[in-house]
A and B are shown apart, each in its own frame.
Chain A
Amino acid sequence: MVMAGLSTKPSPAEIRAWLEDVPDPEIPVVSVVDLGIVRGVEWEGDELVVTVTPTYSGCPATAVIALEIVEALRRRGVEKVRTKTQLSPAWTTDWIGEQAREKLKAYGIAPPAEGARCVGDLKSPIVECPHCGSMATEQVARFGSTPCKASWRCRDCLEPFDYFKSF
């Protein structure tokens, strides 16, 4: 099939690179690739199938993310795109890459503690203040401005900040 502006099918690696420009709708400094939401890119005949995994089960951004992926690829000239939802393996914050963690910190959000995935560990992760780097921080509330964040504050610089919950 002929696609507008494209003479050959772009490779999955190329498409992945394009998706690095698609921001998360709630936290625009990180991309959907950074967050580990894109689980697969493959051609099924002349249709491109992008497999995405939802982050939090109640995240209202999930539908928007799928829509933005389709729109970004259409702008690149891929006309037939479909997104597929994959529930397993369940998304974990351990899939958020090093670079994305730095971007989150620079944006004022403390990145999720790594590997803290059982209840006992969730209670007291050591969280670095994204503003001043102090480790003297405390949780204000388990829930925050979006389903993925908790409210914290720094006891040194006294600034409140969001902590990206570790799951």
Chain B
Amino acid sequence: MTTAVKTDLAIFELALRMGDNALILAQRVGAWCGHAPVLEEDIALANVALDLIGQTKMWLSLAGEIEGRGRTADDLAFLRDARAYRNVLLAEQPNGDFAHTLMRQFLFDAWHHPMLLALKSSCEKRVAYIAGKADKVVRYHLERSEDLVIRLGDGSEESRERMQAALDALYPFAGELCAADAIDSELAERRIAPDLSGIGESYIAYLKRTLGEATLNAPWDAATRKGGKNGMHTEELGYILAEMQWLQRAYPGAKW
């Protein structure tokens, strides 16, 4: 007879959320390869995407391990439907122009870096190890996106206009990163993940400071667009998965 597998659902969800954010954002950013406005940015975008794929592999492997049903990182990436994805809505927003891609990255990195720093002291040591590994490259990502947001915000008339438009469109999605639900509260209580409201306070303070330097103004009071963490996605995710998963769907079990 089979033994019932007992999954620690809170940690499973945490690993999926961290892994799916990295995976979906990487899939978006990777689409710039060969299309960026300058060569250096093309290389930077491809490298950021690659770093995020590396992190995806660690988080989704952990998710599979926690779940205990034998699913690998690849199974989780290529064989789940949109409703089973746990990334925030921000990650799946379309690339738009370079300003949109950059602003999306900035809003994500500015949360990702302090989140990973806090996860380094998780009492679940596998989570702490992955965070310790990921944090090193993510602070580098943040350095780049912060620098570019300031330079293009406080730049030419056109670059400022485009950056402001991107901020207006994307800021409403930023709130989901720090909005805690029951799973986040349980994780914080068990000291596996930080209290998201604490991360949120320093996130907003950081955004105000940096966007101020960039001469940009966020719609601070805009209603938060959320749902992705619980599997309720925008239409965009379906298109991403269709492209990302078609091979494994059309040829199940195909190997490199």
Chain A residues engaging chain B, CB cutoff 8 angstroms? 54, 56-60, 87-90, 92, 119, 122-123, 140-145, 147, 151, 165, 167
Is the pair B40, A140 in contact by a Cβ cutoff of 8 Å?
A: yes
In the complex, which range does the number of interface residues on chain B fall in?
20 to 34
Can you name 23 A-B pairs with beta carbons within 8 Å? A56-B137, A57-B55, A57-B58, A57-B137, A58-B47, A58-B137, A60-B50, A87-B58, A87-B133, A88-B128, A88-B129, A89-B132, A90-B129, A90-B132, A92-B136, A122-B140, A140-B40, A143-B40, A147-B47, A147-B50, A151-B40, A165-B140, A167-B136
Known: A87-B132, A88-B129, A165-B140. A141 touches B51 (CB 8 A): no
B44-84 near A? 1/0 per residue, CB < 8 Å: 10011011111101100000000000000000000000000
Complex contact B54–A142 (CB within 8 A): no
CB < 8 Å neighbour of B139 from A56, A119, A143: A119
- Chain A, Cβ-Cβ closest to B139: A119
Q: What's the minimum C-beta distance from A95 to chain B, rounded to whole angstroms?
A: 13
Query: A128 vs B63: C-alpha distance in the bound complex, in angstroms?
Result: 43
Contact across chains for A90 and B136 when beta carbons are under 8 A apart: yes
Tally of contacts, chain A with chain B, CB under 8 A: 73
Residue of A nearest to B113 (CB): A119
Known: A90-B132, A119-B142. A142 touches B44 (CB 8 A): yes
Question: Once bound together, how far apart are the Cα atoms of A4 and B242, in whole Å?
Answer: 50
Specify the chain B residue showing the minimal Cβ separation from A57: B54
CA distance A56 to B43 in the complex (A): 16
Tell whether A87 pairs with B50 under 8 Å between CB atoms, given A141-B40, A142-B44: no
CB pair B43 A143 closer than 8 Å: yes
What is the CB-to-nearest-CB distance from B30 to chain A, in angstroms, rounded to a whole number? 11
Which B residues are CB-close (under 8 A) to A122? 139-140, 143
Top 6 nearest A-B pairs by Cβ distance? Answer: A58-B54, A57-B54, A141-B40, A58-B50, A58-B51, A87-B129
Shortest B18–chain A CB gap in Å is 12
Q: Smallest Cβ distance from A114 to chain B, in angstroms?
A: 15
Contacts of B48 in A (CB 8 A): 143
Q: Closest approach, in angstroms, between the C-beta of A75 and any C-beta of chain B?
A: 25
Rounded to whole angstroms, the CA-CA distance of A111 and B41 in the bound complex is: 23
CA of A112 to CA of B140 in the docked complex: distance in angstroms? Answer: 14
Chain B nearest CB from A92 CB (Å) reads 8
Residues of B within 8 A of A56 (CB): 51, 54, 137
Whether B143 and A119, one on each chain, are in contact in the complex, defined by CB atoms closer than 8 angstroms, is: yes
Taking a contact as CB atoms under 8 Å apart, the answer to whether A141 and B44 are in contact is yes
A113 → chain B, closest Cβ, in Å? 14
- Measured between beta carbons, the chain A residues less than 8 angstroms from B118 are none
User: What is the CB-to-nearest-CB distance from A164 to chain B, in angstroms, rounded to a whole number?
Assistant: 13
CA distance A32 to B213 in the complex (A): 43
A89 to B130, CA, bound (A): 10
